Amino acid sequence: MTLDQLQSLKAIIETGSFRSAAVRVHRTQPAVTHQIKALEREMGHALIDRKTAAPTPAGALFYAQARKLLTDADALRAAMRDFDETASSELRLGTSDTTALYILPKIVQRFRRQQPKAKLHIVNRPTEIIATLVERGDLDLGILTLPTVRAALEERMLFQQELVLVVSKRHALSKRPVIRLRDLHGEPILLLEEVTRTGRLLRDYFAERDFAPNVVLDTSSFEVIKRYVAEGIGISFLPKETITPRDNKLAVLPFSGLPRVTIGAVWRKGAYQTRAAQAFLKLL
């Protein structure tokens, strides 16, 4: 039994195919098939159903233990790479566009001063994808919307985002001292897509209050929404941090009762945290 064989089995189960697994582990498909056959001979059990690429009952048990071994092996490699304080290191970080644009720039500046030899690699994806990439070891840290509800991940709450109502400064609502949800009936609303955690939170908030928003556009881009709101196409709800001094055509209005978005950091349980990862977490 080798770590390469375990990696191939893990990749098959997680991708659902021998072909995709071969791409992930940078081998040919026949080579991956040969590895699994050899592993099955050694274990004395069929581990993968060849028709579905799903684990057999024995394979599921084996996979659970193999993941722990691979996590330990990755931690050992990382610890050895991190041992030499003069060597350069890499921090693989996953987060959303919003956090990367509006929250991280000052953190990254301070991190670069503290860790001048460290290379920072940032991947921008939605929360669920980031959680998966951290879980399978492709990323060291994820900064995403909590909760993740994944047993393989540790999580730490960092801060909460306040949502605000955003309208054009030319909009009549911008002059109102108090705005309630009933005041928005019929208003064209630009809403974040439901695939985003914030978009889902807002839709749940509306449903709980029997409010049917007049959605004229949905998108995952805060920048698109801000531009369209500034042009008077509609109104929106956005995290307060996304509104900058450059957005001088927008009016930001407090709106009581809106849900808050919890942002946190996640990493794999049992994974070794390098000095670079520890430093970045401390700054956060």
Q: What is the pLDDT of residues 221-231, one digit of tens each?
A: 889 999 999 99
How many residues belong to the chain?
284
Q: Residue 93 — pLDDT band, cuts 50, 70, 90? A: very high
Sign of the dihedral defined by the CA atoms of residues 170, 199, 197, 261, in that order: positive
Residue 92 φ then ψ, to 5°: -95, 110
User: Using only C-alpha atoms, what is the Rg of the chain?
Assistant: 23
Mean per-residue pLDDT over the chain, rounded: 89
Sign of the dihedral defined by the CA atoms of residues 21, 25, 26, 31, in that order: negative
- Among 231, 121, 80, which Cα is nearest to 167's? 231
- Residue of 84 and 283 predicted with greater confidence: 283
- Among 30, 35, 28, 48, which Cα is nearest to 7's? 35
Q: Quick one: residue 144, left, alpha or beta (phi over 0 = left, psi -120 to 50 = alpha)? A: beta
- For the chain, list the domains and their CATH numbers: 3-81 (1.10.10.10), 87-151+265-283 (3.40.190.10), 163-259 (3.40.190.10)
pLDDT value, residue 87: 52
Between helix 18-25 and helix 3-15 the angle, nearest 10°, is 130
Question: Which positions ≥6 away from 114 have C-beta within 8 Å?
Answer: 279, 283
Q: What is the rounded CA–CA span in Å between residue 65 and residue 61?
A: 7
CA 161 to chain centre: 16
pLDDT in tens, 10-42: 899 988 989 999 998 899 999 999 999 998 999
Residue 53 φ then ψ, to 5°: 60, 20
Counting beta carbons within 10 angstroms of the beta carbon of residue 175, is it exposed (0 to 12), middle (13 to 18) or buried (19 or more)? Answer: exposed
CB 123 within 8 A of CB 92: yes
pLDDT value, residue 131: 94
- Residue of 256 and 224 predicted with greater confidence: 224
pLDDT value, residue 85: 57
Which residue(s) pair with 124 in the sheet?
95
The stretch 43-59 carries a mean pLDDT of 90
pLDDT value, residue 260: 92
- Residue of 51 and 237 predicted with greater confidence: 237
pLDDT value, residue 83: 64
pLDDT in tens, 125-138: 888 899 999 988 88
Q: Residue 118 — pLDDT band, cuts 50, 70, 90? A: confident
pLDDT value, residue 51: 85
Res. 90: pLDDT tops 70 = yes
For 152-165, the DSSP string reads TEEEEEEEEEPEEE
The stretch 114-122 carries a mean pLDDT of 90
- Among 201, 202, 191, which Cα is nearest to 225's? 191
- Residue of 87 and 207 predicted with greater confidence: 207
Res. 77: pLDDT tops 90 = no
- Residue of 88 and 209 predicted with greater confidence: 209
Res. 47: pLDDT tops 60 = yes
CB 93 within 8 A of CB 143: yes
Res. 88: pLDDT tops 70 = no
Q: Residue 74 — pLDDT band, cuts 50, 70, 90? A: confident
Q: Residue 274 — pLDDT band, cuts 50, 70, 90? A: confident
- 235-239 sheet: strands from edge to edge: 214-219, 188-192, 235-239, 163-168, 250-253
Q: What is the rounded CA–CA span in Å between residue 211 and residue 173?
A: 18
